[in-house]
Amino acid sequence: MSVIYERVALIGLGLIAGSMALAMREQGLAREIVGHARSLETRETALQIGLVDQVFASAAEAAAGADLIVLAVPVGAMDAVAAEIAPHLKPGATVTDVGSVKQAVVQAVAPHIPAGVHFVPGHPLAGTEHSGPRAGFASLYQNRWWLFTPAEGCDEAAIARLETLVQSMGAKTERMDPQHHDLVLAVTSHTPHLIAYTMVGVADHLKRVTESEVVQYSAAGFRDFTRIAASDPTMWRDVFLQNKDAVLDILGRFTEELFVLQRAIRMGDGAHLHDYFTRTRAIRRGIIEAGQDTAAPDFGRGGTKS
Amino acid sequence: MSVIYERVALIGLGLIAGSMALAMREQGLAREIVGHARSLETRETALQIGLVDQVFASAAEAAAGADLIVLAVPVGAMDAVAAEIAPHLKPGATVTDVGSVKQAVVQAVAPHIPAGVHFVPGHPLAGTEHSGPRAGFASLYQNRWWLFTPAEGCDEAAIARLETLVQSMGAKTERMDPQHHDLVLAVTSHTPHLIAYTMVGVADHLKRVTESEVVQYSAAGFRDFTRIAASDPTMWRDVFLQNKDAVLDILGRFTEELFVLQRAIRMGDGAHLHDYFTRTRAIRRGIIEAGQDTAAPDFGRGGTKS
């Protein structure tokens, strides 16, 4: 695999950036990888475990001279980071991000990008419940989708080069409008996460059932919700604040649907329930066929770090 | 491991009964295992793959002469099955079930049990999204909870013997009141399942986002919901019809909680969201500590058949 970018700067050194670093090293996709994180401890860990060749105490220093700059910070922090690094960006450099929402990122970052620098917003559909510099692993992006939302008129070669980078990490790429991205993700990710959080919260508040019982007997389906609900609180707070309209849209549909099922239960309408569950099982099979899951245990994630 | 029951009859030969058969064989817990399923194909498969030593075309024939009879049919079918087998039960035999709800099973089955036969309702908190005689595996019950809800005055030795059986399969046992069981399960399993079904249904109905996108980009959290939503429709229809009161109670709490979060999103209340998500993360850690999950991939389910 050949070098695609001479110098890559990772702003933020958590699960996503760390996995990118490990994948780039494994495939030899970058000559140099440098990074910045706000906390000294994170910077030191990243250096110590070999994620990056150098760390910097400021985002600006990390971004200077880099060919690719990856914004891997919470969406709420992107405005300030983009403003800080903008004067230091090399002409011809590419700036990308890995945020879970795209319209808000474009609004926050695009105004700061100087002429001659390419802005290619992106979103890898990958992750685990773990956070921090030690959480990453090189195979995170294998067979996962990486979505890009470049603006009209963005430099085609710059987009293609970034697509090649992530494809070399094992990802499949797709381009779309930021608004469309945010709606699709509201359906497939953001609202499911909110629902999982809510169910765990209900269990937490319930006094008639002891907490230890909820915890002990949680292998019964609830466990899957708690895994989703263990995601990084800061990242998810920003996702909901920044993808508000799409999430509220989907939430409204969800509660309407839930009330229909609730009513079927109250009225003992077994046929309605059975039809509904049969239909949803078919969607599950569609997902396995699309290669986005496997019937195998571990979702086929052999070698995942725990 | 020594033989605990001479002759075990499995009424129903799906995932749960099949796994019991394989575990009993592996540990030498029964001298003879026989079975009944309604479909000829299932009976033939069960025999062919060695789940059972003999199959019978009727539940009554299977139950006759058995020391332990396991009712592993949908909860809605238990009344009829219990009525059919009752005249054929050997004195001193134990009847158990594996249904996900307990009050409804007790109401359906207990009236048919003759004097001298022990009725020990049970519920193993284990399962996968797969169904049928080929879906089972011997390690399904390893480290899983198996709850029993015997009535006051039930024979202690009969209960203890059944507990020993499932403990020998690797399960941990607990006894509780059927009403309490149904509430705990409404929280940890039934309502989460309904919610997962609903979210998948919303995605299915949405016309603005194409079905292929929902399917393609479902690695983003939605995938976990679809796995839950792929559970057996008949079993789950019966669970909701039969655990109506507890499920409606929990559903009401859930929608109240969801509206609080929805309001926080609409109002941009990031602090509220962050607090909430931080609290739920702690519950996740509690579950890992209780040994009911692992941070390892595959939920530690090494050797699961796909």
Which chain A residues contact residue B278 at CB under 8 A?
A: 233
pLDDT at B236: 87
pLDDT of A13 over the 60 cut: yes
Contact B222 A248 (CB under 8 A): no
Which chain A residues contact residue B191 at CB under 8 A?
A: 199, 202
pLDDT of B61 over the 60 cut: yes
The answer for residues whose C-beta is within 8 angstroms of residue A56's C-beta and 6 or more apart is: A34, A35, A36, A43, A62
Q: What is the rounded average pLDDT of the residues A128-148?
A: 92
Of A209, A219, A286, the CB nearest to B184: A209
C-alpha–C-alpha distance, residues B123 and B188, integer Å? 14
Go through the domains of chain B in sequence order and give each one's CATH number: 5-176 (3.40.50.720), 180-267 (1.10.3660.10)
Which chain B residues contact residue A250 at CB under 8 A?
A: 202, 206
Cα angle B30, B35, B36 (rounded to 5 degrees) comes to 165
pLDDT band at A195 (very low <50, low <70, confident <90, very high): confident
Q: Which of B142, B174, B184, B289 to mutate to test the interface with A (most CBs of A within 10 A)?
A: B184
Task: Specify the range with the lowest mean pLDDT, choosing from B101-110, B223-232, B289-298.
Answer: B289-298
Of A76, A144, A217, the CB nearest to B184: A217
Q: What is the rounded average pLDDT of the residues B197-223?
A: 70
C-alpha–C-alpha distance, residues A16 and A33, integer Å? 14
pLDDT at B207: 53
pLDDT at A201: 81
Task: Specify the range with the lowest mean pLDDT, choosing from A245-254, B151-160, B195-204.
Answer: B195-204
pLDDT band at B265 (very low <50, low <70, confident <90, very high): very high
C-alpha–C-alpha distance, residues A108 and B207, integer Å? 30
pLDDT band at B130 (very low <50, low <70, confident <90, very high): confident
Of B125, B215, B248, the CB nearest to A287: B215
pLDDT band at A196 (very low <50, low <70, confident <90, very high): confident
pLDDT of B101 over the 60 cut: yes
Q: Which of B129, B182, B199 to mutate to test the interface with A (most CBs of A within 10 A)?
A: B199
Which chain A residues contact residue B296 at CB under 8 A?
A: 304, 306
pLDDT at A292: 60
pLDDT of B85 over the 80 cut: yes
pLDDT at A115: 96
Q: Which of B187, B194, B241 to mutate to test the interface with A (most CBs of A within 10 A)?
A: B187
Dihedral, CA of residue B208, residue B213, residue B214 and residue B218, to nearest 10: -150
Residue B8 phi, psi (nearest 5): -110, 130
pLDDT at A197: 83
Which chain B residues contact residue A231 at CB under 8 A?
A: 277, 281
3-state secondary structure chain A: CCCCEEEEEEECCCHHHHHHHHHHHHHCCEEEEEEECCCHHHHHHHHHCCCCCEEECCHHHHHCCCCEEEECCCHHHHHHHHHHHHHHCCCCCEEEECCCCCHHHHHHHHHHCCCCCEEECEEECCCCCCCCCCCCCHHHHCCCEEEECCCCCCCHHHHHHHHHHHHHCCCEEEECCHHHHHHHHHHHHHHHHHHHHHHHHHHHHCCCCCHHHHHHCHHHCHHHHHHHCCCCHHHHHHHHHHCHHHHHHHHHHHHHHHHHHHHHHHCCCHHHHHHHHHHHHHHHHHHHHCCCCCCCHHHHCCCCCC
pLDDT at B211: 63
Contact B192 A202 (CB under 8 A): no
Cβ–Cβ < 8 Å for A186, A254: no
Q: What is the rounded average pLDDT of the residues A109-130?
A: 94
Contact A145 B224 (CB under 8 A): no
